[in-house]
Every structure is written in C-alpha cells, then in structure tokens.
Amino acid sequence: MLTALIIDDEAPSRDELKALLGAFADVEVVGECANAIEGLSAIHRLRPDIIFLDIQMPRISGLEMVGMIDPGALPRIVFVTAYDEHALKAFEEHAVDYLLKPVDPQRLEKTLDWLRSGACPSFRQLPGMTEMLPRIPCCGRNRIFLIPISDVEYVHTDISGVQVVGADRQGMTELTLKLLQERTPLIRCHRQYLVNPDRIHEILLQENGAAEILTHSGKKIPVSRRHLRELKDRLLIA
C-alpha cells in the first residue's frame, strides 16, 4: 500500500489527480494541500510515501519546496506540471519522474510501477534546492506568510517547533534549524538558536564564557560557550 499526498494550488487539478489515483487499489490519497507551506507541514505530519507535487504554486514553487523538506522525512516525489521547459529539462537530466497536465492515466500507471519498484532519484541536485533561501515560510495565527531573511532576527526551537522571530512578527516554520543553517546566512549561536548577523546590535560577554546577543529590536538571545568562538570567527572578531 502506498500513501500519497497531492500538493497543487488548483482545486480542479487536485480533484482530477485524486480521481485518477482512485483507479489504483494500492494507492491511498491521505491528504491534499493547496500550497507549499501547507504541503511541508502535511509531509512532516503524515509522512506519505509519495507526493504529487505541482511546480507552479503561490510564493514557493514545488521545486523550492523540495529543498525545504526535512531530509529525514523526504518522500518519493512525482512532479506535476502543465508546462515548464526549464524544470522538464532538469528532470530529464536527473531522471526525476514527472507528469504532464492534463495527466494521462497510462502514464500515471507507468509512474506508479516505477515507484513500486523503489527507485529513488537524487532530488538534491535539482535546481532551486541548493540555492540560498530568500524567505522563510511561516504559519502565524490563522495566517500563512513569508518572512524575508533580512527581516528575521533569530530562529529557535522549543517544544512547539521551530519559531522564526522577526522585528515585528513571528511564526512557526516547518523548516529545521539544520536546513536553515545550511540554506540561509543565519549563524548558529546556541544549540537551539540561529541568529541573523545583520540584526545583531551587540554581544554581551558573560563571566562563564557564554554570551548574550542583543538584536536591533532589543531581543536577547543566548550564545553558548561552544558557539561563541564560531560566532566570533564569522563576525571577524579576534
């Protein structure tokens, strides 16, 4: 049995794919999402075997989204697109499977056969997956939004998840600290904290060898002893 998640911003498109997948007894559609942010959260929550991922979606494209999935939770991905010359070229090069809209049922069957066989292409090589992230997708109270990296003061984890804190707003993100550390200019300053070096107002050194960062908007972030040296190196402080 394969569990599948459909991520596409167009409702008719999702309906159609769901109807087509209904013909296969061993595929169960466990969820539908209308954008990448909902998609990330559903992937992390539902852990589907396969995602059918539209490329053209609001704010964060399907390609960008793949790069934001926690590598540990990475499902098998089938891209779905109406027309996208650049993406198609990349897919051909990396043997990534894709479906063209409107989806041909026979082609879908072939794709499912291929997925059942357990083949796993290297998504990490696809364009848009290694580039720096310009924005972090967040969920706030009843709202989904993107915070540009330059507005982020720091990111930290707590029991509820990963919190992105800007000067005037904050939200939860599905992106892990590790991924954010790799794909943004944010610097690790504590096991649970990343800080934006451009937003550091001052670093207050403490007697125990640790420190505290004061951001431009006056927020305080802990710096562990272990990360202080690293932070100093990055900021070119001797």
Partner 1 sequence: MLELENINHVALIGSLMQQMCVYLAVAYMLSKTPLFAPLMQVTVRLPDKLVCYLVFSGFCVMGTYLGFQIEGAIANTRAIGAVLGGILGGPGVGLAVGLTGGLHRYSMGGFTASACAVSTTVEGLIGGLLHIYLLRRHRADRLLHPMIAMGTTLFAEITQMLIILAMARPFDQASRLVAHIALPMILSNAVGAALFMRLILDRRATLEKYSIAFSAKALRIAERSVGVLMQGFDQKNCSRMAKIIQEETGVGAVAITDCERLLGFVGIGADHHIPGTPISSQHTFQAINNNEVVYADGVDVTYRCSVSKDCKLGSSLVIPLRGEGNRVFGTIKLYEPKNKFFSSINRTLGEGIARLLSNQILAGKIEEQKRLLAQTEIKLLQAQINPHFLFNALNTLAAVIRREPEAARQIVQDLSTFFRKSLKRSGTEATLKDEIEHVDAYLRIELARFAGRLDVDIDIPEELLNLRLPAFTLQPIVENAIKYGVSQMIEPGRIAISARRRNDQMVIVVEDSAGLYKPSPESGGMGMNLVDRRIKIRHGEAYGIEVSCEPDQWTRVAIRLPAEEELVTC
Minimum CB–partner distance for residue 133 and partner 1 (Å): 17
Binding region for partner 1 (CB under 8 A) out of 52-60, 86-94, 181-189, 203-211: 52-60
Binding of partner 1 by 82 (CB under 8 A): yes
**Residue 15 binds partner 1, judged by CB under 8 A:** yes
DSSP annotation of 192 reads T
Please return the burial class of 160, using the count of CB atoms within 10 Å of its CB with bins 0-12, 13-18 and 19+: exposed
In whole angstroms, the minimum distance from the beta carbon of 85 to partner 1 comes to 9
* Tally of CB atoms within 10 A around 203: 18
**Binding flag, residue 19, partner 1 (CB under 8 A):** yes
Nearest approach, Cβ of residue 29 and partner 1 (Å): 15
Identify which of 198, 204, 236, 197 has the alpha carbon closest to the alpha carbon of residue 220. 204
Closer Cβ to partner 1, 99 or 203, answer by number: 99
Question: Taking CB under 8 A as the rule, does residue 148 contact partner 1?
Answer: no
Structure tokens at 149: 């990296």
Q: Give yes or no for residue 11 binding partner 1 (CB under 8 A).
A: yes
CB 121 to partner 1: min, Å = 24
**Side-chain half-sphere exposure of 143, counting CA atoms within 13 A:** 8
Q: Is 88 in the site for partner 1 (CB under 8 A)?
A: no
Listed ranges 82-90, 190-198, 201-209, 214-222: which one lies at the site for partner 1 (CB under 8 A): 82-90
- Judged by CB, which is closer to partner 1: 56, or 181? 56
Binding span for partner 1 by CB under 8 A among 55-63, 119-127, 188-196, 222-230: 55-63
Structure tokens at 209: 């060898």
101 binds partner 1 (CB under 8 A): yes
Closest CA to 55 of 66, 43, 70, 68: 66
Out of 24, 46, 59, 94, point to the residue binding partner 1 (CB under 8 A).
Answer: 59
How far is the CA of 224 from the CAs of 80, 152, 177, 194, in angstroms?
45, 20, 16, 11
Told to check if 218 binds partner 1 by CB under 8 A, we report no
The three-point CA angle 159-160-162 to 5° equals: 95
Report residue 26 as tokens: 């061993």
The answer to whether the beta carbons of residues 231 and 210 sit under 8 Å apart is no
Q: Which of 46, 73, 144, 167 binds partner 1 (CB under 8 A)?
A: 144
Chosen residue from 3, 10, 73, 114 binding partner 1 by CB under 8 A: 10
| 6 dihedral zone (left: phi>0; alpha: psi -120 to 50; beta) | beta
Task: Kindly list the residues in this chain that would bind partner 1 in the complex (CB under 8 A).
Answer: 9-13, 15-16, 19, 34-35, 37, 56, 58-59, 82-84, 100-103, 144-145
